[in-house]
């Protein structure tokens, strides 16, 4: 079984922008509910179908398959719930880890989130200076939720994230 173990953070500054070239992503959800999703993505000229299970801690099952680009484009248009998530993704390498920074566009313009994938839940890592508040486990920051409640519809209380106190287990992995 494929496993995804990731942590999500808001981006606190633009110090990351010169470190990588952005890749254009369009993604939509055929199904999202009860923590499970079926997602279609178009990344440049590639189509991808992804099936994700419910999150347990910071882990979840994930299965990803290449699909024909024409099929992916048709699925985005005809099968996926609207709006489609549009973003630029930047892959930034820091201290042996790849950070994926998503700069959202269209209905989610203004939101920038960084994710780090880990090999196990207790793996330690260094946070770059441009990483801000951790939002792991806060559903409104999931892409599957952003298409249902886009960032441009958030009220000021939703935008003003209060400092989150990570669990002792999570805190021990950050340096």
Residues recognised as catalytic: 29
Phi-psi category of 111—alpha, beta or left, where left has phi over 0 and alpha has psi -120 to 50? beta
Residues composing the chain: 175
Q: Provide the CB-side half-sphere exposure for 80 (13 A, CA).
A: 26
Residue 7: asked if its preceding bond is cis (omega within 30°), the reply is no
Element of type H or E holding 143: helix 143-146
- Give the number of other Cβ atoms within 10 Å of residue 125's Cβ: 16
Sequence-distant (≥ 6) Cβ neighbours of residue 59 within 8 angstroms: 3, 4, 5, 121
């Amino acid at each position: 079984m494929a496993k995804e173990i990731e942590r999500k953070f808001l981006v606190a500054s633009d110090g990351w922008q010169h470190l990588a070239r952005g890749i254009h992503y369009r993604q939509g959800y055929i199904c999202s509910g009860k923590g499970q999703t079926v997602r279609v993505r178009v990344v440049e000229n590639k189509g991808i179908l992804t099936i994700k299970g419910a999150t347990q801690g910071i882990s979840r099952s994930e299965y990803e398959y290449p699909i024909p680009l024409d099929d992916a484009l048709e699925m985005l248009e005809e099968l996926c719930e609207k709006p489609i998530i549009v973003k630029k993704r930047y892959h930034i390498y820091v201290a042996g880890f790849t950070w994926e920074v998503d700069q959202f566009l269209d209905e989610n313009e203004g939101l920038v989130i960084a994710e780090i994938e880990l090999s196990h839940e207790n793996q330690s890592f260094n946070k770059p200076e441009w990483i801000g508040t951790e939002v792991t486990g806060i559903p409104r920051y999931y892409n599957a939720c952003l298409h249902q409640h886009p960032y441009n519809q958030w009220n000021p209380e939703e935008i003003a994230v209060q400092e989150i106190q990570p669990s002792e287990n999570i805190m021990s992995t950050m340096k």
